[in-house]
Amino acid sequence: MRMVSTLAEKPVAVFDSGVGGLTVLHELLVSLPTEDYVYLGDTARFPYGDRSLEELRGFSVEITDHLLESEVKLLVIACNAASSAALGTIEDHLIARGAEIDVIGVVSASTQLAVAGSRTGRIGLLATPATVASGAYERAVRAADPHVHLESVACPDLAPIIQSGSPFDDAVVATVRGYCAPLRGAQVDTVILGCTHYPLVAPLLQRTLGRGVQLMTSGTGVARGVERALAARGLLNPRTDEGDYRFRCTGDVESFRALGTRFLQMPLGEVTHVELPARLSV
């Protein structure tokens, strides 16, 4: 990482429960290539999808405090479960610490795109149980357009299947079809992929749902939100060459590197193992 001399040259921080958030980081690297990034995957406590709200809020605050030590200029919660449960908690925590940085979550980013893109006002959501149970997407859809119907499906097995890196077989296809069946029955025309792991199975989802259904991921919306937030504060990095990106994880480094390349679709450089102050297992 380059020596930082101004606030605008500080890195953007991104965190997720595992490697799924790398699909969001990929969009940031493409859309805002002059920025530096630091990414933390909390792989020791993956998955977040079946955690309680209290656990998710606690984990998110621990990670936020860790990333603040790197003097970051903006924080991206690239995890739907953490965004759904802890966005407000993190904002309050930053205020309490006197850290004047913006926080961008993934829920509002994908919801706004989905509502704007739906022709019929019937939208589907595929997400982890924790994200569905939080009601965050229902609230976001209702705020964007109270006349839009959201059909939510909890998918407890999908993120762990993708995170495992195992080849997709007939059992995986059957699992995906089962999750998509209620959405087909509800005749949705747009589906929000409410977990950053799910873009890795987008072709399978598209085939199952039909070519007339739009799939909405959070990466594009998050990148737009980050750019607007940085521009509003005058914090866009002024340099013209490509920025750096580096990685940290709380679990096994080699597993993160091997699977992370698939998600990021770019080479991974150094991956550093970190231990957060609180317990790593619950």
Round to whole Å and give the CA distance between 31 and 109. 15
Q: Which two tokens stand for residue 280?
A: 């790593």
In degrees, to the nearest 5, what angle opens at C-alpha 152 toward C-alphas 151 and 154?
155
Write down the H helix ranges in 135-200.
Answer: 136-144, 158-164, 170-185
Round to whole Å and give the CA distance between 234 and 6. 11
Round to whole Å and give the CA distance between 108 and 218. 9
Dihedral (Cα; 32, 83, 268, 5), 10-degree rounding: 50
Catalytic-labelled residue, pool 79, 155, 180, 249: 79
Catalytic-labelled residue, pool 155, 180, 195, 249: 195
Q: Is 195 a catalytic residue?
A: yes
Q: Is 79 a catalytic residue?
A: yes
DSSP state letter for 146: T
What is the full DSSP assignment across 46-91?
Answer: ---TT--HHHHHHHHHHHHHHHHTTT-SEEEE--HHHHHHHHHHHH
List, in order, residues 6 or more apart from 190 with CB less than 8 Å away.
Answer: 114, 117, 118, 122, 123, 124, 213, 214, 215, 216
Catalytic residues: 79, 195
